[in-house]
Structure 1
Amino acid sequence: PKFTITIYKIPEVKGPKIEKVIEKIKDVSSEEIDKKIEELREEFKEYIPKKDGEVDEGDYVVLSYGLEEEEKRETTSLVVGEGRNIFEGHVVGMKSGEEKTVKINEAKFKIKILEIKYPKLPELNEEFFKDFDAKDLESFKNKVRQLIIKERLSEDKIENFIADEILEENNFFIPKRYIEEEAERKFEELKKELLRSGIKLSDFLKVRGQTEEEVRESLRKGAESEIKYNLILDLLSDNEEVSDEEVKEYYGDKWQEVFSDEEKIENAKIYLKKRKYLNRLIEEIRRKIESHLKETEEKKENKE
């Protein structure tokens, strides 16, 4: 009988081009700036008393409540639409001072609206710009752009940019079997997590508006990228030095349980090698971008 043996050879891998990663982090679109501005306006909004009118979506409401058959009343507040209070769905359309009885599950509650406030977003004017050390809309947008870039400098976000660049630089075939195995493992993890949370898979799929196969396909795509990324990272970080002391520090109090387990020791070294490699890149990228932001700010101050 004849046998066919297929050997998959990984090509030489390339590290990420740091300057390309930096440019991607610094590249902020006008749409991203506009979205961030709306988020800031939402963050700085104030609530204005609504003397007349009914409770609407987004309003801040203070109300008293208590079981129908009891005299005792408690006070609570809510913002309609946040989904944090059981009375939210019952107050829309009510007026200040109005009372009514509502049924929640098997209990009947009497509620009374004590106060209504509507949200008012700040105008994009000089007064608002001053809070960001800006004098006009253009300089404000520049401040927002810098704010977005600074938010991208967290360790996990920089690593995401690095991962994207690594995958762009290295495009090679991953056997379908490996992808299917990893996707299946992730699907089983998802089911266990849902079970721990008391959520049925069918309910999860309904909320997501997806079929089981669509979720599996999404996991396959993620699995392929994850396998590639980890494989490339293993090779790129292979020359990093990790001491026994660092492994011991990594395990901490569990060191006595694992010090004789060669497999666990080796896995820890592989992980620590990758972290060393990534941390060095992350710090270099962060340092260069922070320097760029500082220079930009100094040039602006000198012009003024």
Structure 2
Amino acid sequence: MKSTVEHLSPTRVRINVEVPFDELKPDFDRAYKNIAKQVKIPGFRPGKVPARVIEARLGRGVVLDEVVNAAIPNKYSEAVSGADDVTPIGRPDIEVTEIADNERLTFTAEVDVRPEIALPDLDSLKVEVDEVEVTDDAVTEQLDQLRARFGTLTGVERAAAAGDFVQIDLSASVDGKEIEEAATTGFSYEVGQGGLIDGIDEAITGMKADEEKTFPSTLVAGEYADQEAQVTVKVTAVKERELPEADDEFAQLASEFDTLDELVENLRERLGSAKRMEQATQARDRLLDQIVEGTEVPLPESVVAAEVDSRTHDAVHAFDHDEDRFAEFLTQQGKTREEFDTEAKDEAEKAVRYRLVLDALADKEEVSVGDQELTERIMYQAQQYGMAPEQFVQQIQQAGQLGAIYQDVRRSKALITAVRAATVTLPSGDVVDLSDLLGSDDDVEVTDPTADEAPSTVEGEVVDSTDDTADAAGDKDDDKAGDAAAAKA
């Protein structure tokens, strides 16, 4: 097989492939066997029809079509594997240019590829993070939250206020029609908690037991989602939370410490650790922004288009793909469809740009992912989705997303490597040592970059990835948005 690569742009190539018919013999054998199983010809058992009879009855063209359709994906993958510095990140457009029977098959494949990106020297990068400051008020707030976990509820005769617990009955109607699924009784709710129904806190505040109030609110789910309803709330009880005294006895009840001072000191240390983790997150996010802003990143059109389609699909999916309802929602938000489309494209371009930079960084630093690291990420994501690990693995394998998870972990490690190499400072100019949070250089697994790449996230949420292998219909683009800090999605 012969193949050549034409670079049409920094992000797109045309691969020209010529395959001698001698190399297609296994494909012809499979084609005859497949066709023989599908046709019924008198005098021959199913699957036992000779090749010459198949061609005589069905024509040579039927056989050639079967051979070409089966051979092109494999020959395309072969050509990609043999091409230097060509990493497809989209579905190829394949065109058969010649079928010279018994001589050769030629075809072209145009596909978007990962562009070459010139990254800055990591050792020259410098990023500033906020000071770690643990105030007495912050410690007191943590202590009060702990006390609240051991608090008791006592009924009161007064009106409900923020922080109180109320027992309520709820009902709702749209245009006078009662909504059965929106009704509930005896529901316990903390005033000021939020997240239940818009306007509920304002309505309940100041109400006493056995009082009732009706207020307008927009429903967020069910058959009447995004429609304005009249919500009626009746308070049946108001309870005040009484906190235990903050003393040594409470410290012994709520922790492993014997004294309140020891507990408070532990809370202060934990807050300090959390603040240092925030520093590491700041360093990660700000460094990635700095690298991307200072790097020229050509954007593959098909990958951006796929990302736009994915974001649009997800947005409309929330409205059961009802374009009219989605348009109504946009109007309520004071936004036109054109503005939404523009924002979707801007966000898609940003997400793809960040992913490409992280992939280039991972390549430059020769980052790979071990089995244990991949397993840990899968376990973490399974937990986030509330699924058994085995069930989660089965689903991501069926969806072809295992490679996406691998790539996400790889990007995460690449970014951590960059933070480790850069200089992190405080506003005062003092250098911050985050090595205890980021690990050492020895913690990053480095392998031969020419070795076969296993299926590859920036740490945290979920980042998109690109699958670099083509299937029969073309390259499977596994770009899915991921870690908010990494993908900026």
TM-score range, shorter chain: 0.5 to 0.7
2:299–2:349 CA contact under 8 A, matched in 1: no
Q: State the match for 2:118 in structure 1.
A: 12
| 2:196 corresponds to 1:84 | yes
Structure 1 Cα separation of the partners of residues 350 and 296 of structure 2? 11
Amino acid at match of 2:196: R
Matched, 1:93 2:225: no
Question: Structure 1, residues 150-193: CA drift from partner, whole Å, max 9, x if none?
Answer: 25668xx876455324314x422546956963563244223343
Secondary structure of the corresponding residue to residue 355 of structure 2: helix
Q: Does 1:53 align with 2:158?
A: yes
The percent of aligned pairs where both chains have the same amino acid is 16
Compute the TM-score of the two structures, normalised by the length of structure 1: 0.53
Match of 1:53, SS? coil
User: Over residues 103-148 of structure 1, what are the superposed CA-to-partner deviations in whole Å (9 max), with x where a residue is unaligned?
Assistant: 9989999x5533332798x99xxx998644179xxxx5x8645322
RMSD over aligned Cα, in angstroms? 5.9
Distance 1:207 1:119 in 2: 42
Cα deviation, residue 242, structure 1: 6.4
The aligned runs of 1:1-304 (5 Å cut-off) are 7-8=9-10, 10=116, 12-14=118-120, 16-17=122-123, 20=126, 23-24=128-129, 27-28=130-131, 40=142, 43-44=145-146, 46=148, 49=154, 51-63=156-168, 75-81=186-192, 82-84=194-196, 88=200, 91-96=204-209, 98=210, 111=234, 113-117=236-240, 131-133=263-265, 144-150=271-277, 160-161=285-286, 163-168=288-293, 170-172=294-296, 174=298, 181=305, 184-196=308-320, 200-206=325-331, 208-238=333-363, 240=366, 268=403, 272=406, 275-276=409-410, 278-279=412-413, 282=416, 289=434, 291=436
CA distance in 1, matches of 2:140, 2:320: 37
Instruction: State whether residues 362 and 411 of structure 2, in contact with CA within 8 Å, keep that contact through their aligned partners in structure 1.
Output: yes
The structure carrying a bigger helix percent of its residues is 1
Unaligned runs of 5+ in 2: 1-6, 11-114, 172-183, 217-228, 247-258, 379-391, 421-432, 439-489
Offset at 1:52?
4.7
Please state how far the C-alpha of 1:58 moved relative to its aligned partner.
Answer: 4.2
AA at the equivalent of 2:434: I
Change (3 A) 1:216 1:65: closer
Query: How big is the shift at 1:291?
Result: 2.9
Unaligned runs of 5+ in 1: 67-72, 259-263, 294-304
* Matched position secondary structure for 2:239: strand
1:222-269, CA deviations, whole angstroms, 9 ceiling, x for partnerless residues?
2232222222233333364869x99x99997699989xxxxx89x94x
Instruction: Give me the whole-angstrom Cα distance separating, in 2, the residues matched to 1:29 and 1:198.
Output: 48
Deviation of the 1:61 alpha carbon? 1.2
8 Å CA contact retained: 1:242, 1:272:
no
Q: Secondary structure at the match of 1:95?
A: coil
Q: How many correspondences in the alignment?
A: 256
Judged with a 3 Å threshold, the aligned counterparts in structure 2 of structure 1 residues 195 and 279 are, in CA distance, closer, same or farther, namely: same
Following TM superposition, by how much is the alpha carbon of 1:54 offset from its aligned partner in structure 2, in angstroms?
1.3
Q: 1:128 to 1:226 in 2, by over 3 A?
A: farther
Query: SS of the counterpart of 2:296?
Result: coil
CA 1:54–1:223 in structure 2 vs 1: closer, same or farther (change >3 Å)?
same
